[in-house]
Amino acid sequence: MLGRTIFIDPGRCIGCQACVSACRECDSHRGKSMIHLDYTDEGRTTASLPTVCMHCEDPVAPCAEVCPADAILITADGVVHEADPTRCIGCGNCVNACPFGVPKIDLAAKLQMKCNLCYDRTSYGLAPMCATVCPTGALFYGTVEELQAERPGVDVSTAFTFGATTVSTGVAMVVPPERRAPVPGGLLNLIEVNGRPTPGNGAPA
Amino acid sequence: MTAEHVPLDPSVAPLGTRNFRDAGGLPAAAWRADQTEQTLVPTHCCFCGIQCGMYLRVDGRGKVFGVEPRNHDINRMRLCPKGINAYQQVNHPDRLTAPLMRRDRNQPLREVSWDEALEFTVGQIGRIQREHGRDAFGMLGGASLFSEKTYLVGKFARVALRTRHVDYNGRLCMVSAAGANKLAFGIDRAANPFADILQTDCLLIAGSNVGECFPVLTQYVWGARDRGATLIVVDPRETAVARTADIHVALKSGTDSAFFNAVLQVIVDEGLTDEAFLAANTTGWPEVKAAVKAYPPSRAAGICGVPAEQIVDVARAFGRARRAMGWHARGIEHHTQGVENCLTVINLCTATGNLGRPGAGYGTLTGQGNGQGGREHGQKSDLLPGGRSINDPAHRRQIAAIWGIEEAELPPAGTSMMEMVWQMQRQEIRGLIGVCNNPFVSLPNYAVVKDGYDKLEFHAQFDFFLSETAANAHVVFPVTTWAEDEGVMANAEARVVKHNKAQEPPEGVRTDTWVMCELARRLGVGSKFAFEGSREVFDELRRASAGTVIDYYGITYERLEQTGGLVWPCPGLEHPGTPRLFEDGRSYHPDGKIHLQAVEWHPPADPYDDEFPMTLTTGRTVAHFLSGNQTRRLGALVEQTPRPWVEVHPSQGFRNGEPVRVVTRRGSEVLPALVTEAIRPDHVFVPYHWPYPVAANELTIDALDPRSKIPEYKVCAVRIERARSVDEVPAPPTPPGHEAYPEAQASRTDPLPPTSPQGRGTGERG
């Protein structure tokens, strides 16, 4: 079950991108942000959503499962690390496998990079940079009990369905109570992202 | 592949990451994770009026290289993107490191010695004042300066220049709230601490885009919401905070007082007023009550362009709440009736007895870091230290005694910042020193501002980056950033916090304090400016404020470091400060009453007609700060929001990214359209952080509130047209021979609008 982890609450996100800037300051990949910040309702509202690595748990993280070079290490605490630069061959399998679209590939360097839960901080008991600075608590680091103490009645989910597959994650999403679990990831009719049509839904070939 | 191509040392930037965009003047290739020699210097952010605590990371060579969150009780480690990137200014390649000078504007600026720049400046001050009188030389300060420096600006103008013409850029910011606070309460500050927001049952936010201008304050807003508070947001745009409000009142800009009068009218009608509180603690209630009778919801709905039921809903939510609070910012203050708009919010809080209790009260969100402190100690045209009036003979005598001058030597009140520009146009003011301001971007009606400054025979500017205004000057003095000196600022709660020095300034850079004191010495009044640094100035400021409403006497650097901040009035060294005002119901007027003021709504200054049928409103975006001289140079912030845009409703028929010409009676420019339903169909919005030719303030009107003299930035008449191509964003100015740091400017030429007003999504970046 959940230990100390990140909780994402899009209902609190103001889209300020403090997390994006903070991620650059993380000593794991200084200067490069691993956070995805999307304005999900472009043209209609200012709604926004931060995405960090969900640190999938079950059966093992899909990115690590498909890695042909065994470059993606999962530590005993459940953190799915970014690809070991001495093993990664930059093939991009992990990018294709990730159901949340998290890893990035630097094509020139042939290296994968992604959120490692600020391992340089969390392994010493500090919170990740993004959740430390988030002005609104849209990214919260702690235990579910700490979260619920601060936000009475809040509910979270760590299960996401993609078609017939359910992925459970180490990072949790705050959900309305009626959506307790699992969150329908792949069942959403994804016709556009940030106001732009997706492949198969009107995107130019 | 050899071993040197695959670094196994985890403290070295990995291969492939070495060309990453700037991480604070530190190329990634030179980065080392081994920071065992680093020290953390506790301080606060240089930017907005929240004043979040932060640590600056200083390396073994004594240079600032990063930021670390700090668990200060204002922000609890939270920071916004501006705060996170703030440290990158300190060792930025664009920093000015030598005085710049030219004898006339046809020559380029060139680097000169400090002695030459100071001598030339003193010579020009002398010549202009000899030939045209002392008042022909003016001074303009700023509210991002430490309080010590704002005190020095006022003293320097009155004692060294002996001119009446001194004012500051808070005139563009906080003066309407200040005027209303003084009229109603006799004290000019927010009445409650931020922490009170967590205890309220109904939070009214009027004219503040909290999520973008004060992101860290959002934690208090959401905290109130978590605990069941009703959230009401009054704003023509559906901002990030308005989006999830219980009631979002998307009224027409420039109709606030009609709206709040109508809300109060419903509250009176439904018997939701606190008559006992009103009878015991106020004057003017019968007049206010009579005045709001003329604003039934049906009439206000027509003026404001909102449903009448919404006015009733707001009145009931606010009036029935056990504890309610009203917080406002520039949205209701930047108007020709800015003071009156604030008064209508004060009337609402007072009439419902919502003052002086936890969770019940009133506040104004100051924009600049020292927006509160900057208006307290004498750089405002009519004020002396401690908020004393320069028109009051007793106050004049007190300050003259502290400054060691005759009362008769103290000049009379001057004029406001915009009025001073008009005086420059008329050559009543022929010389000017500007400290910590950038009016070429921040003042309205750019054409007038440029003309006024161009007519100056002599103009000197203090700054650490070459601002658009400084680039037009005769002399530019390179001064310190906030991380290279110590001093205090007062945040939006009137909490005085201490900023600490994290590194020595670069070679060739001096503190503003040193420059003002050295100029004073050369002007022959050095004995009155014998200050070693901020600490000595602060001790004089404390004494000069003792016994006034704005009493700093009990605040010392040592106490600030022990406590993390003290809220004035703090009259004694044992005094705990005063976080919440009016706990006994008494105001700071001699009679102890709250002086309620009746307000009549009037339309904005710029009339609508067939040619200019729509409303232009202006404001900020989260990645940039005020005139942008700081933030337009920081790579991450430029990447987030590279350029300005014009926000239009889909009903106007434009496509996203399409070039749109925005035309007012004062100017026109072409910006890409950000088409969104989150704005009223009859309004367009342009953010104001960029300079000519993409300056929002080329379009805005230089009409002033008659009392506060604040310009009407938030509303003017406009039309929009299809255009061919968007106007390009110029690079920030740099001294001759220097290029604006290219790493930070990479995204600036993006012709598209951001994905959302908060910036470009990470997926939309090149």
Q: Give the chain B residue nearest A151 (alpha carbons).
A: B226
Domain ranges of chain A: 5-57+117-197
Structure tokens at B396: 């004049």
Inter-residue contact B247 to B81 (CB < 8 Å): no
Phi/psi at B517 (nearest 5 deg)?
A: -65, -40
Q: Residues 382..421 of B with a Cβ closer than 8 Å to A: which?
A: none
A30, A89, A114, best to mutate vs chain B, most B CBs in 10 Å: A30
> Quick one: pLDDT band at residue A85, thresholds 50, 70, 90?
confident
Report yes or no: B652 at the A interface, CB cutoff 8 Å.
no
Residues of chain A found within 8 Å of residue B226, distances taken between Cβ atoms: 150-152
Q: Residues 173..212 of B with a Cβ closer than 8 Å to A: which?
A: 211-212
Only one residue has tokens 């870091």, namely B369
pLDDT of residue A131: 95
Distance CA B457, CA B447 (A): 18
C-alpha distances out from residue A49 to A20, A185, B222, B245, B453, Å:
12, 14, 16, 18, 45
Phi/psi at B71 (nearest 5 deg)?
A: -85, 65
- Residues A146-204: tens digit of each pLDDT: 999 888 888 898 888 887 788 889 999 998 877 665 655 543 444 555 556 666 666 66
B247-249 and B230-234 beta bridge pairing: parallel
Residue B163 to chain A, least CA–CA distance (Å): 43
Report yes or no: A110 at the B interface, CB cutoff 8 Å.
yes
Residues of chain B found within 8 Å of residue A13, distances taken between Cβ atoms: 240
> Quick one: pLDDT band at residue A1, thresholds 50, 70, 90?
very low
Distance CA B314, CA B316 (A): 5
* Residues B175-364, CATH architecture: 3-Layer(aba) Sandwich (3.40)
| Residues in a beta bridge with A97 | none
Q: Give the chain B residue nearest A47 (alpha carbons).
A: B240
CB atoms near residue B259 (< 10 Å): 29
pLDDT of residue A180: 60
- The class that CATH gives domain A5-57+117-197 is alpha beta
Report yes or no: B363 at the A interface, CB cutoff 8 Å.
no
pLDDT of residue A205: 55
Report yes or no: B30 at the A interface, CB cutoff 8 Å.
no
Which residue, A102, A97, A90, A79, is CA-closest to A170?
A79
Residue A73 to chain B, least CA–CA distance (Å): 16
Residue B93 to chain A, least CA–CA distance (Å): 17
* Residues B107-173+370-567, CATH architecture: 3-Layer(aba) Sandwich (3.40)
Q: Which of B14, B227, B763 is closest, CB to CB, to A194?
A: B763
Distance CA A139, CA A141 (A): 7
Distance CA B717, CA B738 (A): 40
Number of residues that make up chain A: 205
Inter-residue contact B683 to B300 (CB < 8 Å): no
A9, A13, A19, A24, best to mutate vs chain B, most B CBs in 10 Å: A24
Distance CA B442, CA B461 (A): 15
Question: For chain B, which ranges sit under pLDDT 70?
Answer: 1-36, 766
Inter-residue contact A177 to A202 (CB < 8 Å): no
Which SS3 state, helix, strand or coil, does residue B339 take?
helix
Indicate the angle between helix axes B446-454 and B417-425, nearest 10 degrees: 60
Domain ranges of chain B: 3-89, 107-173+370-567, 175-364, 614-764
pTM of the model: 0.93
Inter-residue contact A26 to A120 (CB < 8 Å): yes
Q: Name the CATH topology of B614-764.
A: Barwin-like endoglucanases (2.40.40)
Q: What is the rounded (10 degree) CA torsion for A121, A123, A124, A129?
A: 20
pLDDT of residue A198: 60
- The class that CATH gives domain B3-89 is mainly beta
Contact B31 A31 (CB under 8 A): yes
Q: Which amino acid is at B321?
A: A
Q: How wide is the angle at C-alpha B243 spanned by C-alphas B240 and B246, nearest 5°?
A: 130
A183-184 and B202-206 beta bridge pairing: unpaired
Residue A56 to chain B, least CA–CA distance (Å): 22
Phi/psi at B336 (nearest 5 deg)?
A: -70, -10
Number of residues that make up chain B: 766
Residues of chain A found within 8 Å of residue B28, distances taken between Cβ atoms: 30-32
What residue ranges in B98-148 does DSSP mark as E strands? 100-101, 110-111, 137-141
pLDDT of residue A124: 77
Q: What is the value of ipTM here, to two decimals?
A: 0.92
Burial class (CB in 10 A: 0-12, 13-18, 19+), B9: exposed
A19, A29, A39, best to mutate vs chain B, most B CBs in 10 Å: A39
